[in-house]
Homo-oligomer: A and B are copies of this chain.
Amino acid sequence: MKTPEELTELFRSTGRKVTAQRQCIFRVLHGDVTHPSAEAVHAVASREMETISLKTVYQTLHDLAELGEIVSLDVGTGMTRFDPNVDDPHHHLVCRECGRVRDLVAVFPELQIPKGAELGFQVGSAEIVFRGLCPECQPATRTGRVPARAGK
């Protein structure tokens, strides 16, 4: 994802108007690696602008996705997650306890579909979701700490 300044420029050059709300969202997303939901972005943005509405956040996220500056993900956690990392090809780690999502920057070039198995599909891309437990949700055996049990 570009810097807030570059995004400001990009929005203007594509006929979009640049508002304080949007710039606030740009800053919130910049450098975020948590793959926040719209609600999470809104929560952070609200700390800076109390009146910003959730609808505005959704709209700006969609604009950014349309411009290819973020990508919206559905990894089965119940809400759409937004990933500002569009430069490195990567897959995702998802915690099955707390829903945390992280990038797994690795390419699996050997992902070839066996002939005959593709059932006539014209396959364009492959996404891998690795499910497991994030460091915070692991039992003590691995980390030596007793984790705060994230209620399901």
Q: Chain B contacts of A106 at CB under 8 A?
A: 113-114, 117
Taking the full assembly, how many copies of this chain does it contain? 2
> Which of these binds chain B: A35-43, A46-54, A61-69, A127-135?
A127-135
Q: Flag if A130 contacts B134 (CB, 8 Å).
A: no
Q: Flag if A122 contacts B133 (CB, 8 Å).
A: yes
Query: Is A118 an interface residue when CB atoms closer than 8 A count as contact?
Result: yes
A104-B113, A106-B113 known; A121-B128 Cβ under 8 A: no
State which of B74, B121, B138 has its C-beta within 8 Å of the C-beta of A93. Answer: B121
Query: Is A31 an interface residue when CB atoms closer than 8 A count as contact?
Result: no
Residues in A lying within 8 Å of B, measured CB to CB = 74-76, 93, 95-96, 102, 104-106, 108, 110-111, 113-114, 117-135, 138, 142
